[in-house]
Amino acid sequence: ISISVFPPSSACIGRYILNMQITSCGHTYQRCLGDFYVLFNPWCADDPVYMDNQAHREEYVLNEHGILYEGVHKHITSRPWHFGQFEDGILDICLKILDMGASYHHGSDRDHCWRNDPVHVSMVVNHMISSHTTNSIMKIPENNDYLKGTKPFSWNGSVPILQQWYNGRCRPVRYGYCGSLASVMCTVMRCLGIPSRVVTNFCFPCSIENPLGINEIFDCTGKNLCGKDKLWRYHCWNESWMARRDLNQCCGDWQCLDPTPLETGRGSACSGPTWVRSIREGELDLDYDGHHMFSRVNSNYVGWLSQNNAKKTKFFCDAWPCGQHLITKSVGSEQFEDITGAYKYELGSVKNKEAYYRAYRRIHPGYCNASNCHIERELSSLKNPFLSDSGINMRLKMANCPMYGEDVQLHWLLENLRSENKNLKFNLCAQIITYSGCPMDQFWKDSVNVTLGPREVKTIPLCISYNQYGPYLCDHNIMKVVAVSDPECGEVLMVSRDIVINRPPVIVKLLSQPRLKVPCTAEISFCNPLQEDMKNCVMTLEGCGLFKEPMTIDLGTLASNQQARTIVEFTPYRLGSHRLLANFGCHKF
């Protein structure tokens, strides 16, 4: 007997048991034929997650290989990630996540009726990633302290994280960061049949007091002081494709879901789903957490100088606007796609201003009847004056692309826009900054007197040696260089540059042609570029379809310029395109 099951598009997703009942000669027999799974179906036109582009379905549902984009907006780095949504056992783990988070919105899961709605399913998954009080999948370390867990940046894929959570009686995995949280959510959503992708937003504001303003405070040496507001260098979240029946949408569109718990003034919480188009239009009353998502791509940056008498002065500086660069992996390509235009209109355009005014009135009720001119005057009064207003232009330009162990070379360009001499004294400094905007150690300071003739352009070379920054960099590969003019010289000028220190590469070379269920070998090599020993060196290997579990190789201590070569053997157990990932760690990073 051949049995075909055609569940309706409104069927609840989950695991079903199929029983057969046979009546013959007055006797009834029952037999269990087995179980089957019902998932969302982006190939079905009646399904709320229907996506009509085959290339997009292959990328956002079927592709197990992803790329995470990190760094800073002027130096974007990338690293591969294994989603692994088709690995053995992952579907059962994803359904377990729905079981554990079922009471989040509905109090009871007795009828499972919400499981046919991708909106409610996405809200449950979003909450379970890191916001559930006891059973969330992953935790973020407090105060960057991860000694009692795994380093957040050492993960290569979602499968080990989900397996550790499931095998550990659904206790949170320690530790992750926004990129791993968004990627795990992407795995779960793709596994359930919902097209999803990871998005990176550069210059991401996290402000408690003013939703549309972010304040950074510096002292007279240029040191970034730890305040309430944080300017994240980048932040990752998830986008999922669905038609929002609650918004009367008849066709699917991207919805923003941020699983990272962020401080909102009323406690920390995840965000979404928020219709991406509503963010661009400033329609904040339309959706969940619209005001939070709008502020994260539209906040205004303000830099302040804090002096000894607690007086704060605005810098003359050219601030990079928040949320001006949002990217994701391109369809069928290893390159990134700029999707900033999906979140906001071109900066300064009429539509951009209209959307901003519309959102401003909803976020600040006191301005609900204010004119556009009134709002614009208020915004102008909050912004930093431009450097050109002081008669000086400045910028810090990279002279090299430093790798761990190399000196940082910069060119400091200054231009006098006036017809008279300028005599200025500058304080310069460099300090480590975490990706989430927390200022760490200030490790370098200098003072320079600069004289500029009328209309003169001058270039001053700056060098920060590895011996100066190396002992402080640790797992954080971002530093901030700042030049601040002495307040006694008059107007306070500031120029800054975020610098990414690239990690040394790990080279993977296949020594034989991979074939299904046939042993294959690969050579993994790494060279210590430092003029000192690297201690506690560990290589972690992972690959969906190649390794059932991640492989860890202890390399011990590597001397200066020593190259470590390791031959590994694995047996591919699944057909398809696979990727071998190698991650190197030591006491330095």
- Residue range 472-513, pLDDT digits in tens: 987 779 999 999 999 887 889 999 999 999 999 999 999 988
**Residue at which a domain ends, from 309, 344, 379:** 344
Task: Tell me if residue 291 is catalytic.
Answer: no
In 3D space, the residue among 510, 525, 524, 514 whose CA is nearest the CA of residue 571 turns out to be 514
> What average pLDDT does the segment 402-426 reach?
95
Higher-confidence position of 419 and 311: 419
pLDDT digits (tens, 9 = 90+) for 383-401: 999 999 999 999 999 999 9
**Residue at which a domain ends, from 500, 516, 547:** 500
Q: Are residues 187 and 162 in the same domain?
A: yes
Q: Are residues 457 and 513 in the same domain?
A: no
**Residue at which a domain ends, from 500, 524, 544:** 500
The total domain count for the chain is 3
For residue 265, the model assigns a pLDDT of 60
For residue 180, the model assigns a pLDDT of 97
Whether 402 is in a domain gets the answer yes
Whether 89 is in a domain gets the answer yes
pLDDT at 325 exceeding the cut of 60: yes
Whether 370 is in a domain gets the answer no
Q: Are residues 520 and 440 in the same domain?
A: no
For residue 466, the model assigns a pLDDT of 94
Q: Are residues 485 and 515 in the same domain?
A: no
Q: Are residues 471 and 524 in the same domain?
A: no
pLDDT digits (tens, 9 = 90+) for 431-476: 999 999 999 999 999 999 999 999 999 999 999 999 999 999 877 7
CATH number reported for the structural domain that contains residue 122 in this entry: 3.90.260.10
Q: Are residues 216 and 329 in the same domain?
A: yes
pLDDT at 70 exceeding the cut of 80: yes
For residue 488, the model assigns a pLDDT of 84
pLDDT digits (tens, 9 = 90+) for 224-271: 998 889 999 999 999 999 999 888 888 999 999 999 998 766 567 788
For residue 191, the model assigns a pLDDT of 98
Q: Are residues 328 and 401 in the same domain?
A: no
Residue 227: exposed, middle, or buried by beta-carbon count in 10 A (0-12, 13-18, 19+)?
middle
pLDDT at 307 exceeding the cut of 60: yes
pLDDT digits (tens, 9 = 90+) for 214-232: 999 999 999 999 888 999 9
What is the DSSP annotation of 474-543?
Answer: TT--EEEEEEEE-GGGSS-BEEEEEEEPBPPP-EEEESS--BTTB-EEEEEEEE--SSS-EEEEEEEEE-
CATH number reported for the structural domain that contains residue 557 in this entry: 2.60.40.10
For residue 145, the model assigns a pLDDT of 78
Whether 513 is in a domain gets the answer yes
Q: Which residue out of 82, 235, 325, 578 is catalytically annotated?
A: 235
Q: Which residue out of 47, 229, 258, 498 is catalytically annotated?
A: 258
> What average pLDDT does the segment 11-37 reach?
91
pLDDT at 408 exceeding the cut of 80: yes
Task: Tell me if residue 178 is catalytic.
Answer: yes
Q: Which residue out of 170, 178, 186, 191 is catalytically annotated?
A: 178
For residue 3, the model assigns a pLDDT of 83
What is the DSSP annotation of 231-258?
Answer: EEEEEEEEEEEE--GGGT-SS-EEEEEE
For residue 272, the model assigns a pLDDT of 86
Beta-sheet strands, E only, within 339-477: 392-398, 408-416, 422-433, 439-452, 457-464
Confidence of residue 105 (pLDDT cuts 50, 70, 90): low
Whole-number Å distance between alpha carbons of 223 and 428: 9
Whether 49 is in a domain gets the answer no
Whether 373 is in a domain gets the answer no
Q: Are residues 208 and 63 in the same domain?
A: yes
Q: Are residues 439 and 492 in the same domain?
A: yes
Q: Are residues 66 and 116 in the same domain?
A: yes
Whether 395 is in a domain gets the answer yes
For residue 102, the model assigns a pLDDT of 82
Q: Are residues 148 and 111 in the same domain?
A: yes
In angstroms, what is the C-alpha Rg of the chain? 27
Continuous segment of H or E residues that includes residue 304: strand 300-306
Task: Tell me if residue 411 is catalytic.
Answer: no
For residue 319, the model assigns a pLDDT of 80
The model carries a pTM of 0.94
> What average pLDDT does the segment 89-112 reach?
80
pLDDT digits (tens, 9 = 90+) for 544-577: 888 888 889 999 999 999 999 999 999 999 888 8
Average pLDDT, the chain: 91
Q: Which domain holds residue 413?
A: 389-500
Whether 43 is in a domain gets the answer no
Q: Are residues 170 and 197 in the same domain?
A: yes
